[in-house]
Copies of this chain bind each other. A is one copy, B any other.
Amino acid sequence: MPIACGFRLEVFAVPGVPLLRSGDDLPTVVLGALAGQHVELRDGDVVVLASKAVSRAEGRFVDLTTVVPSARAEEVGREIGKDPRVVHLVLSEASAVSRKARDVLVVRHRLGFVVANAAIDLSNARPVDAPETSGPWALLLPVDPDASAERIRALLAKETGAGVGVVITDSFGRPFRLGTVGVAIGVAGLPALWDKRGEPDLFERRLEHTETALADQVAAAADLVAGQAAEGRALVIVRGLSFDVGTHGVGELLRPPNQDLYA
């Protein structure tokens, strides 16, 4: 795969993405924010968007007071000491439970990610126009992040002529290590996984273990400038990578459960 990286990357936030409302057209919003900041996209730019913005545009809000927990959710909620309404949403989003512990429910999300609490967000989750007295609110992951990324990529390509990649990101915790890191949950245009196997090393041996999680590293780099509370930094550009724009998706990054020693 003819991918290469220059010696210099720029990672910069593009302000001007407002708190989105259900029904906002995300590709148009992104295009408008770029124009508003006079950012001219270049071939090879990666446009990185926080999943929360995508979820808001898709109206993935749930008022917890409207949730009637299932019997299973009540049971799990009692077992781990967690709000059964949240447990209900987590289980609704999950294809399997991975681990349970006090206030923690790690699941395999229907999209394939293994993540705590199905990546449901309980902060900054209120719709812009919801009454102060409503909620508390939860915000679910986007319905199909690869498709959302592709819609954005296609409009940007059409309107600007630039061959860009698009990565939709969230912040996930991890086994073994503390702290969240940015990860890709939707990918269009760039390889999510960069396969370097077969390239010779300095001594002409074939390299081992050289599939790089390109889209996840892009997400982590973007997270350094995006922050987490700052919805004004929902949009970040990573400039300086070089890749062939093609059809890809986040599925490249998902380890099949039957090949996962920690499933």
Residues of A within 8 A of B (CB): 5-13, 15, 19, 99, 101, 104, 106, 113-114, 116, 122-124, 126, 171, 173-183, 192-194, 196, 199-203, 205-214, 216-218, 220-221, 223-225, 227-229, 231, 233, 238, 240-241, 252-255, 260-263
Let me know if B178 and A207 touch, CB within 8 A.
Answer: no
Q: Shortest CB–CB separation between residue A99 and chain B, in angstroms?
A: 4
Let me know if B255 and A196 touch, CB within 8 A.
Answer: no
Q: Shortest CB–CB separation between residue A240 and chain B, in angstroms?
A: 8
Let me know if B213 and A261 touch, CB within 8 A.
Answer: no
Let me know if A202 and B253 touch, CB within 8 A.
Answer: no
Closest to A182 in B: B217
Q: Note all chain B residues with C-beta closer than 8 A to A196.
A: 227-229
Q: Which of B177, B212, B252 contacts A216 (CB 8 A)?
A: B177
Let me know if A175 and B106 touch, CB within 8 A.
Answer: no
Q: Note all chain B residues with C-beta closer than 8 A to A220.
A: 181, 216-217, 220-221
A233 to B209, CA, bound (A): 18
A7 to B232, CA, bound (A): 11
Q: Shortest CB–CB separation between residue A5 and chain B, in angstroms?
A: 6
Let me know if B209 and A180 touch, CB within 8 A.
Answer: yes
Question: Which of A15, A126, A224, A227 has the most B CB atoms < 10 Å from its CB?
Answer: A224
Q: Note all chain B residues with C-beta closer than 8 A to A180.
A: 209-213
Q: Note all chain B residues with C-beta closer than 8 A to A179.
A: 192-194, 211-214, 216, 253
Q: Note all chain B residues with C-beta closer than 8 A to A261.
A: 99, 101, 104, 106, 175
A253 to B174, CA, bound (A): 11
Q: Note all chain B residues with C-beta closer than 8 A to A15.
A: 7
A226 to B126, CA, bound (A): 40
A selection of 21 A-B contacts at a CB cut-off of 8 Å is: A5-B224, A7-B13, A7-B225, A7-B233, A106-B261, A123-B206, A126-B203, A174-B174, A175-B261, A175-B263, A176-B262, A178-B213, A179-B193, A179-B214, A181-B217, A202-B231, A210-B229, A216-B220, A220-B221, A221-B221, A262-B262
Q: Which of B174, B178, B205, B263 contacts A123 (CB 8 A)?
A: B205
A101 to B173, CA, bound (A): 25
Closest to A180 in B: B212
Q: Shortest CB–CB separation between residue A165 and chain B, in angstroms?
A: 13
Closest to A99 in B: B261
Q: Shortest CB–CB separation between residue A217 and chain B, in angstroms?
A: 4
